[in-house]
Amino acid sequence: MEFHTFYDYFLYTKNWAYVMMFVTLPVYVLYWNTMLFPKKGPWLFGDDDEH
């Protein structure tokens, strides 16, 4: 089977699911720890002064 473009090969191999998983999970974690709960985060810019 021929792939004229990388996009055709990309869709054919179904690797987009893995790529989206590895891209969205870290972004979601960063968003959750920095935007939603910047003070309560156990890591990543969390305040350790209270302990």
- Whole-number Å distance between alpha carbons of 2 and 19: 22
Tell me, what's the pLDDT at 46?
A: 54
Q: Report pTM.
A: 0.38
Reading the block at residue 41, the tokens are 């985060």
- 1-51 pLDDT, tens per residue? 676 787 777 777 777 778 888 889 988 888 887 777 666 555 555 555 555
- The pLDDT score that the predictor gives to residue 11 is 74
The overall longest dimension of the chain from CA atoms, in Å, is: 61
pLDDT at 40: 57
DSSP states of 1-22: ---SSHHHHHHHHTTHHHHHHH
Which sequence spans correspond to the domains of the chain?
6-36
The pLDDT assigned to 9 comes to 75
CA angle 49, 44, 28 (to 5 degrees): 140
